[in-house]
């Protein structure tokens, strides 16, 4: 087994461990436990990054030489990695264990799905000519950072609909976290769509061709634009706006998974 | 009808102001935006679940006849180019333009007003404020400090008041100087701000959306997309535009394919497609370039992309002792024989590659297979002429995508602007700090519309720094 696989395996276990740390916190309610959780998250992110880098190095050894951003397996791993980065970027706003708990579960799901699902190709594949572009890196990274921010928005939106004293943060805080994560995600998604368009222009001769993945990312973008306007201009608050953010995330999921499995298009993750 | 109840929007009082006004305010309203964007999103979904640009047979194999009729009636077989989709986008442009222009003119009017320094009461009512008691200053500090103030103060301050007051205000102003800009000053105090650029964010974002759509529109009106297939050595000066009826589009210059190569990874997957192409303008070779996927050729506003490749077979026949090279669809005649190469098959019933020849047998059309690997079927006599298939060669040809899009630079500008706009809107904060002489000391107060929590922290830090200086 290659080193990158081994390390990414450990990283997967660490996400499970993070989940248990949260459970321990809810059992004992000691603030030190959450401090320990953040430290573990930093370590996990470090190893996760190392795993990705080693996979990159490994691809050079195989004579294929490309960043680990090219197939469905790699995109799942990068998605999990992006969720951790966004957690750390937004740390100041996320001092609520329930949010980091759900986020670590989502990372665990992404990593576990990547390494266990029989339908996911795990070996390093060669890069088809259309993907051999520097735009690949910036496009994929901005998109997944955006998707990761929307994970937080989704969690905040869902929790808004639930009441559970002592576990769920106050509603105003959830609303604020939701907005904050969309403020991070929306510009990133815009950058992702735009870099994708520039890349498509250089690879195919057309910056926009209404391919299903492009179209769904536009739909996602429109939903979050509606969120921003409903909140800022129409002054929507509460449940209604939480539902818009949940709808936005469903659209993210469809853009990422649904398009691959249900619709077909130019994008290489489609199998 | 009273359309708008929102204090942020232009015309507030719907019903009393006549029909044209309420139509205007509806067209400029966020309610209309929500409606339009939702319809655009739903319309786009149709385009991703219904096959686009298929043939009638394809649709009829998927849907019933009635559904198919509905699909064509609504233009859902080409949703993104249907009338209703263009209509929605046009309405959206109108909506966005009216709304943004209305807001912008109000914004300009507002910003022309002199900034004003609120009175003591108002400042003390602000959520973020503190007072610095200048009477409590340590007398010992003045001589050194007042020297500094007079230096720094020449263009900034012409304050009246006691030494200690001057000193305190000077110190406050100086401590804010690096990050804040003084926009207004009077004897009683001053207004400082930072991040005022962020107020332009919304306008930049909205304007760039219009710009991007304009660029896209310019591209569809003034540009084209076509393709060209070139065999090695071949040159052409026009592209073909796809459609029910293919149209030729002259380029104004010719492209000649000097070479085409495909390389593969060890596992057999394609690694690189490279066409070496010459641009011939006015009979002269002006440019030579290796076109790869992701690395197009650009000449006179026309872009040439590596899109696909394929193989065309050529057949070497020996016809009555003469070597003849023929391609598919070629015809050839010799004596009584008139033949045409109909088609090539890689394997004919497991017997290897073969080519189908059509010929006239006493005026009647007949066909006959020539198989390269079956000796008995390799040579034949047709109409008394001996024909033998000597060899089949497969030449690679390159498929180039050709496009001209004069709008693309407008679109790129829009992209850059929208990212800049998003950045200044979301990551710069407009913050104001008021410094005013009050009855007990100097009042420092701050306001911010967005990012209040972050501003609270910054404000606390400012306060801490100033208190540190006091000691
Ligand atoms: C897809 C299209 C649009 C996008 C991406 C967009 C983007 C934005 C963004 C990012 C903001 C800032 C939100 C915030 O700071 O939280 C904003 C604000 C705003 N937008 Fe749009 N917008 C779009 C269409 C429209 C349209 C069509 C209208 C007008 C009818 C409109 C009216 C406004 C208004 C009034 C604000 C509030 C400005 C403020 O008070 O600061 N937007 N828009």
**Most confident listed range (A32-46, A246-260, B13-27):** A32-46
Domain that holds residue A45: 1-127
**pLDDT category of residue B32 using cuts at 50, 70 and 90:** very high
Among A8-17, B205-214, B409-418, B453-462, the least confident range: B453-462
Q: Quick one: pLDDT at residue B231?
A: 87
For the cut 50, the answer to whether the pLDDT of residue B147 exceeds it is: no
Quick one: pLDDT band at residue A122, thresholds 50, 70, 90?
confident
Both tokens of A70, joined, read: 């090219």
pLDDT value for B266:
80
Distances (CA, A) of B255 to A118, B74, B252, B275, B299: 48, 41, 10, 11, 11
pLDDT at B112: 85
3-state per-residue secondary structure call for A63-98: CCCCCCCCCHHHHHHHHHHHHHHHHHHCHHHCCCHH
Instruction: Give the confidence band of A76 by pLDDT, cuts at 50, 70, 90.
Output: very high
pLDDT attached to residue A127: 79
Mind listing the pLDDT tens digit for each residue in A123-150? 888 877 878 888 889 999 999 999 999 9
Is pTM beyond 0.90 here?
Answer: no
Q: Answer with the residue of higher pLDDT: B463 or A48.
A: A48
Distance B41 CA to ligand 1 centre (A): 17
Note whether A161 and A186 are same-domain residues.
yes
| pLDDT above 70 coverage of chain B, percent | 89
- Indicate whether A259 pLDDT > 50: yes
How confident is residue B395, by pLDDT bands cut at 50, 70 and 90? confident
| pLDDT of the residue at A41 | 96
User: Which residues lie with the beta carbon below 6 Å from any ligand 1 atom?
Assistant: A 222, 225, 228-229, 232-233; B 8, 28, 30, 33, 95-96, 99, 103, 202, 205-206, 209, 425
CA-closest candidate to residue A81, choices A106, A64, A57: A106
How many domains are there within chain A? 2
Of A150-159, A197-206, B129-138, B346-355, the one with minimum mean pLDDT is: B129-138
pLDDT at B14: 43
Query: In A218-235, which positions are buried (b, 16+ CB within 10 angstroms) versus exposed (e)?
Result: bbbbbbbbbbbebbebbe
Mean pLDDT over B304-309 rounds to 89
More confident: B200 or B453 = B200
Beta bridge partners of B168: none
Mean pLDDT along residues B88-115: 92
Residue A271 has pLDDT above 60, yes or no: no
Q: Is the Cβ pair A202, B296 closer than 8 Å?
A: yes
Q: How many angstroms is it from B204 CA to the middle of ligand 1? A: 10
Phi, psi of B126 (to 5 degrees): -70, 150
Mean predicted confidence (pLDDT) in B109-130: 86
Give strand pairing partners of B437.
B442
Co-location of A175 and A54 in the same domain: no
Residue for token digits 């929790």?
A159
Q: Of the segments A143-152, A168-177, B14-23, B348-357, which one has the largest average pLDDT value?
A: A143-152
Q: Are residues A144 and A255 in the same domain?
A: yes
Which pLDDT belongs to residue A207? 93
Per-residue pLDDT, B2: 36
Q: Does residue B133 carry a pLDDT above 80? A: no
pLDDT confidence of B139, banded at 50, 70, 90?
A: very low
pLDDT at A43: 97
Q: Which pLDDT belongs to residue A154?
A: 97
Is a pLDDT exceeding 70 seen at residue B173?
Answer: yes
Pick from B5, B28, B48 the residue to mutate for testing the A interface (most A CBs within 10 Å): B48
| pLDDT at residue A123 in the model | 80
Atom of ligand 1 nearest to the CA of A179: 16
Mean pLDDT of the B187-197 span? 88
Looking at the CA of residue B32, tell me the nearest atom of ligand 1: 30
Task: Give CA–CA dist B399/B38, Å, rounded.
Answer: 39
pLDDT of residue B102: 92
pLDDT over 80 at B9, yes or no: no
Residues A145 and A109 in one domain: no
CA distance B236 to chain A (A): 19
Task: Choose which residue among B10, B33, B421 to substitute to test ligand 1 binding: the one with the highest number of ligand atoms within 8 A of its C-beta.
Answer: B33
Confidence (pLDDT) at A221: 98
Residues A37 and A86 in one domain: yes
Averaged pLDDT, B398-409: 92
Confidence of residue B294 (pLDDT cuts 50, 70, 90): confident
Q: What pLDDT does B162 receive? A: 57
Beta bridge partners of B404: B224, B302
Residue with the larger pLDDT of the pair A200 and A236: A200
Say whether pLDDT at B314 is over 50. yes
Which residues of chain B lie closer than 8 angstroms to A187, CB-CB? Answer: 419, 422-423, 426
pLDDT band at B132 (very low <50, low <70, confident <90, very high): confident
The torsion defined by the Cα of A111, A117, A119 and A123, in degrees rounded to 10, comes to: 60
Q: Which of B182, B183, B154, B148 is nearest to B168 (CA)?
A: B148
Which of the listed residues A105, A127, A149 is the one where a domain comes to its end? Answer: A127
Average pLDDT over chain B reads: 84
Residues of chain A contacting residue B267, judged by C-beta atoms under 8 Å apart: 126
Instruction: Answer for the pair B275, B291: CB distance below 8 angstroms, yes or no.
Output: yes
ipTM score here? Answer: 0.92
Instruction: Please tell me the predicted confidence (pLDDT) of residue A263.
Output: 67
**Quick check: B468 pLDDT over 70?**
no
**A97 and A153 together in one domain:** no
Residue where a domain terminates, one of A106, A127, A148: A127
Which positions ≥6 away from B105 have C-beta within 8 Å? none
Angle, CA A81 vertex, CA A78 and CA A85 arms, to 5°: 130
Same domain (yes/no): A199, A245: yes
Cβ-contact A181, A150 below 8 angstroms:
yes
Same domain, A143 and A254: yes
Distance (Å, whole) CA A218 – CA A210: 9
Contact A194 B408 (CB under 8 A): no
Q: Does A223 lie in the same domain as A149?
A: yes
Residues A91 and A164 in one domain: no
Of A98, A127, A156, which residue is a domain's last? A127
pLDDT in the model for residue A264: 54
B13 pLDDT more than 50: no
One domain for residues A154 and A206: yes
Q: Which of A26, A269, A46 is nearest to A144 (CA)?
A: A269
A30 and A54, same structural domain? yes
- Percentage of chain A lying above the pLDDT 90 cut: 65
């Amino acid at each position: 087994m290659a080193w990158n696989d081994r390390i990414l395996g450990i990283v997967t276990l660490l996400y499970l461990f993070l989940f248990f740390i949260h459970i321990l916190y809810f059992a004992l309610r000691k603030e030190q436990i959450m401090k320990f959780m953040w430290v573990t998250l930093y370590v996990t992110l470090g190893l996760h990054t190392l795993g990705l880098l080693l996979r990159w190095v490994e691809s050079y050894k195989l004579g294929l030489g490309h960043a680990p951003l090219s197939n469905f397996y790699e995109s799942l791993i990068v998605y999990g990695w992006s969720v951790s980065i966004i957690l750390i970027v937004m740390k100041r706003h996320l001092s609520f264990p329930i949010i980091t708990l759900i986020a670590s579960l989502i990372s665990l799901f992404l990593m576990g799905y990547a390494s266990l699902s029989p339908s996911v190709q795990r070996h390093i594949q060669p890069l088809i000519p259309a993907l051999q572009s520097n735009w690949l890196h910036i496009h994929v990274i901005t998109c997944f950072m955006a998707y990761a921010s929307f994970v937080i928005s989704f969690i905040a939106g869902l929790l808004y609909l639930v009441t559970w004293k002592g576990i769920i943060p106050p509603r105003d805080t959830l609303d604020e976290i939701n907005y904050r994560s969309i403020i991070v995600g929306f510009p990133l998604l815009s950058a992702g769509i735009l870099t994708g368009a520039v890349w498509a222009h250089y690879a195919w001769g057309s910056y926009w061709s209404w391919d299903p993945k492009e179209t769904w990312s536009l739909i996602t973008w429109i939903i979050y634009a509606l969120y921003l306007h409903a909140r800022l201009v129409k002054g929507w608050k509460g449940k209604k706006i939480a539902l818009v953010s949940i709808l936005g995330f469903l659209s993210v999921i469809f853009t990422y998974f649904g398009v691959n499995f249900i619709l077909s298009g130019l994008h290489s993750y489609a199998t | 009808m009273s359309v708008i109840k929102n204090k942020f929007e232009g015309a507030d009082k719907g019903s009393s102001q006549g029909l044209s006004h309420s139509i205007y305010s509806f067209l400029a309203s966020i309610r209309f935006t929500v409606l339009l964007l939702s319809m655009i999103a739903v319309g786009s979904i149709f385009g991703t679940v219904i096959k686009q640009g298929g043939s009638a047979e394809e649709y009829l194999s998927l849907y019933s006849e009635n559904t198919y009729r509905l699909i064509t009636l609504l233009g859902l077989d080409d949703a993104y180019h249907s009338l209703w989709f263009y209509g929605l986008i046009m309405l959206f442009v109108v909506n966005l333009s009216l709304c943004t222009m209305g807001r912008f003119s109000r914004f300009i009017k507002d910003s022309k007003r002199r900034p004003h320094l609120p009175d003591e009461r108002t400042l003390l009512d602000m959520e973020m404020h503190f007072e610095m008691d200048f009477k409590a200053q340590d007398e010992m500090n003045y001589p050194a400090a007042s020297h500094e103030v007079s230096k720094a103060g020449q263009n900034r301050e012409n304050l009246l008041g006691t030494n200690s007051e001057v000193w305190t205000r000077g110190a406050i102003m100086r401590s804010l100087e690096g990050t804040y800009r003084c926009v207004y000053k009077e004897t009683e105090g001053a207004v400082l701000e930072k991040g005022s650029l962020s107020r332009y964010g919304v306008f930049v974002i909205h304007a760039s959306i219009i710009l991007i759509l304009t660029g896209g529109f310019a591209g569809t009106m003034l540009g084209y997309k076509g393709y060209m297939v070139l065999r090695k050595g071949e040159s052409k000066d026009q592209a073909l535009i796809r459609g029910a009826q293919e149209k030729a589009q002259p380029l104004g210059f010719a492209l000649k394919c000097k070479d085409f190569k495909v390389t593969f990874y060890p596992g057999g997957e394609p690694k690189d497609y490279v066409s070496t192409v010459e641009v011939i303008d006015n009979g002269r070779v002006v440019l030579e370039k290796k076109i790869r996927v992701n690395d197009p050729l650009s000449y006179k506003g026309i872009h040439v992309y590596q899109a696909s490749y394929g193989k065309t077979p050529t057949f070497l026949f020996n016809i009555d002792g003469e070597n003849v090279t023929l391609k598919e669809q070629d015809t050839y005649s010799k004596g009584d024989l008139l033949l045409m190469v109909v088609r090539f098959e890689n394997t004919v019933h497991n017997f290897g590659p073969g080519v189908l020849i059509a010929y006239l047998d006493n005026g009647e059309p007949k066909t006959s297979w020539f198989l390269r690997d079956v000796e008995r079927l390799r040579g034949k006599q047709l109409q008394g002429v001996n024909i033998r298939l000597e060899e089949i060669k497969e030449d690679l040809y390159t498929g180039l995508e050709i496009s001209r899009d004069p709008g693309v630079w407008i679109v790129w500008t829009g992209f850059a602007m929208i990212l800049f706009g998003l950045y200044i809107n979301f990551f710069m904060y407009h913050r104001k700090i008021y410094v005013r002489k009050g009855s007990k000391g100097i009042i420092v107060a701050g306001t911010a519309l967005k990012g209040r929590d972050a501003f609270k922290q910054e404000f606390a830090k400012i306060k801490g720094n100033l208190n540190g200086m006091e000691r």
